[in-house]
Amino acid sequence: MNQQLINTVKSEFLKVFNSNPSLIFSPGRINLIGEHTDYNNGYVFPAAIDKGTVVAIAKSGLKNSTILALNTNNKFEFSINDIKPLENGSWQNYVLGVISEIQKTGEQLENFNLVFSGDIPIGAGLSSSASLENSVVFALNTVFNLGFSKKEMIFISQKAEHNFVGVKCGIMDQYASMFGQKDAAILLDCKSLEAKTVSLNLDDYSLLLINTNVKHSLAESAYNERRKACENVASKLGVNSLREATISDLQFHKENLSKTDYQKALYVVQENNRVLEAFEAISKNDIIKLGKLLFESHEGLKNQYEVSCEELDFLVGYAKKSNIAIGARMMGGGFGGCTINLIKTSGLEKFKNEVAKNYHHNFNNDCSFYNVKLSEGTRVI
Ligand code: GLA
């Protein structure tokens, strides 16, 4: 965890509000494999990381609440009795959405002061949103003794995103951020919320994230469209979700489906299978197999699910050609953000140098590299 970040948030709170706050940290996440499967009740394989959001909070005892967003140096004042969404794209909606969802449960909140800051790059596909939502719900739960379980809190965060932010996200990000464990990834069944924690021993290989540093517009509407398309296919197949569908079900109904819907649904069914294969590969320490599955996942995301972009494809293509990388794919919602790569540790620096040079040459823009440390989930610090 970033001690400097914690110190900054705490000292800013003391300076501005002159009282002692509770401090909460909530991490971002990576996802080994299982993309766009969560809202289809399928499998995902995420892990919380050591980057995230730090919140300092205390009751205000006043008629107003004040929030300071340190990253953007923004101050926002409102009353707890008047919660409504702001304009699309406002950071406030993540916080207001959480408040509104808590109020919908019948719990009473009082006004409070909150300072937050984070070290997750925005738009990188590392779930800065879930990290913020979870940090806020956890903070309010702590300060007002609401007694919500972690499971209840992740659904509050998810509904905030649906209703105030407008993204009909699945549960992966909020789950991983809340329930993360040190040095481990989580195989999560998004239908039952049953989870298996797997300690990740990659032998001579390392995980490397490469940020394209682009986020193409329309990513959010495209996300919601994909979700709708999957739900339509499921209903045509007569199943609750694509989790219940098999490849032969899809082939049976192929005539009734548009070509693109068929491909998208096929991707989801195949990706669910890949997650289970990845779990098995990791259990057997077969890292080469895991790498292959990452490449296959990317092919599906690019050609069938159509959520990749030129920059992501370039990075994955580069990894495929290199004999230092054994697997790579885009990670998260898509249309920009990061790729996740499995790299021979001995060649890590060489690989980074080559990629940096070639990416710059191609796009006249720099990519960024992050080594990840798998970490514990949302907590009081
Ligand atoms: C975003 C969403 C998640 C998930 C991924 C794609 O991160 O918030 O719920 O659907 O995209 O796997």
Q: Coil, helix or strand for 84?
A: coil
Question: 208 vs 67, 159, 211, 361, CA distance in Å?
Answer: 34, 31, 10, 21
pLDDT at 219: 74
Residues 35 and 169 in one domain: yes
Out of 149, 174, 199, pick the residue that ends a domain.
Answer: 199
158 belongs to a structural domain:
yes
Are residues 139 and 240 located together in one domain of the fold?
A: no
For 186-239, write each residue's pLDDT tens digit.
Answer: 999 999 999 999 998 898 999 999 999 998 877 788 999 999 999 999 999 999
The verdict on 233 and 347 lying in the same domain is yes
Report CA-CA distances (Å) from 239 to 236, 253, 377: 8, 12, 33
State whether residue 368 is helix, strand or coil: strand
pLDDT value of position 372: 87
Same domain, 245 and 339: yes
Structural domain contains residue 380: no
Quote the pLDDT of residue 35.
98
Instruction: State the CATH number of the domain containing residue 260.
Output: 3.30.70.890
- Closest ligand 1 atom number to CA of residue 39: 10
Residues 216 and 310 in one domain: yes
Specify the residue with its C-alpha closest to ligand 1, atom 8. 169
Q: Could you tell which of 37, 38, 171 is best to mutate to test the pocket of ligand 1, judged by most ligand atoms within 8 Å of the CB? A: 38
Residues paired with residue 29 on neighbouring β-strands, in sequence order: 48
Whose CA is closest to atom 9 on ligand 1?
A: 170
Residue 299 falls inside a structural domain: yes
The pLDDT of residue 364 is 98
Quick check: is 11 in a domain?
A: yes
376 lies in some domain: no
- Chain Cα centroid distance, residue 308: 16
C-alpha angle 191/193/197, rounded to 5°? Answer: 130
Clarify whether 82 is annotated catalytic.
no
Q: Which residue reads 């971002």 in tokens?
A: 28
The answer to the question of residue 377 being in a domain is no
Same domain, 152 and 301: no
The one-letter amino acid code at 105 reads: T
CA distances (Å), origin 307, targets 136, 297, 317: 30, 12, 16
Its domain, for residue 82, covers: 3-199
Tens digit of each residue's pLDDT (9 = 90 or more) over 234-271: 999 999 999 999 999 999 999 999 999 999 999 999 99
Select from 173, 227, 272 the residue to mutate for testing ligand 1; criterion: most ligand atoms less than 8 Å from CB: 173
Give the closest residue to 334 by CA, choosing from 246, 200, 212.
212
Query: For the chain, which residues score pLDDT lower than 50?
Result: none
In this structure, the residues whose C-beta lies within 6 A of any atom of ligand 1 are 35-36, 38-39, 127, 169-170, 172-173, 332-333
Q: Strands 336-344, 43-44: parallel, antiparallel or unpaired by DSSP?
A: unpaired
In a domain, 72, yes or no: yes
CATH number, residue 105: 3.30.230.10
Are the C-beta atoms of 17 and 58 separated by less than 8 Å? yes
Pocket test for ligand 1, best of 159, 169, 274, 308 (most atoms within 8 A of CB): 169
User: Are 141 and 216 found together in one domain?
Assistant: no
Q: How far is the CA of 179 from the centre of ligand 1 (A)?
A: 16
Tell me, in angstroms, the distance from the centre of ligand 1 to residue 150's CA. 19
Q: Based on the domain organization, do 326 and 286 belong to the same domain?
A: yes
Do residues 229 and 333 share a domain? yes
Question: Cα separation of 372 and 29, whole Å?
Answer: 9
Provide the whole-model pTM: 0.97
In a domain? residue 378? no
Q: Residue 1's pLDDT is what?
A: 77
Residue 174 sits in the same domain as residue 220? no
**Residue finishing a domain among 151, 184, 199:** 199
Please tell me the predicted confidence (pLDDT) of residue 69.
98
**Bridge-based pairing state of the strands 46-59 and 112-118:** antiparallel
Residue 369: per-residue pLDDT: 98
- The answer to whether the CB of 195 falls within 8 A of the CB of 186 is yes
The Å distance, Cα 319 to ligand 1 centre, comes to 23
177, 199, 221 - which closes a domain: 199
Q: Is residue 315 domain-shared with residue 332, that is, in the same domain?
A: yes
Nearest CA to ligand 1 atom 11: 333
Same structural domain, 220 and 361 = yes
Q: What's the Cα-to-Cα distance from 275 to each of 186, 217, 272, 289, 315, rounded to whole Å?
A: 11, 29, 5, 12, 22
Residue with tokens 């790569």: 341
d(CA 105, CA 323): 54
Domain count, the chain: 2
d(C-alpha 324, C-alpha 13), whole Å: 46
Residue 349 exposed, middle or buried by CB count within 10 Å (0-12, 13-18, 19+): exposed
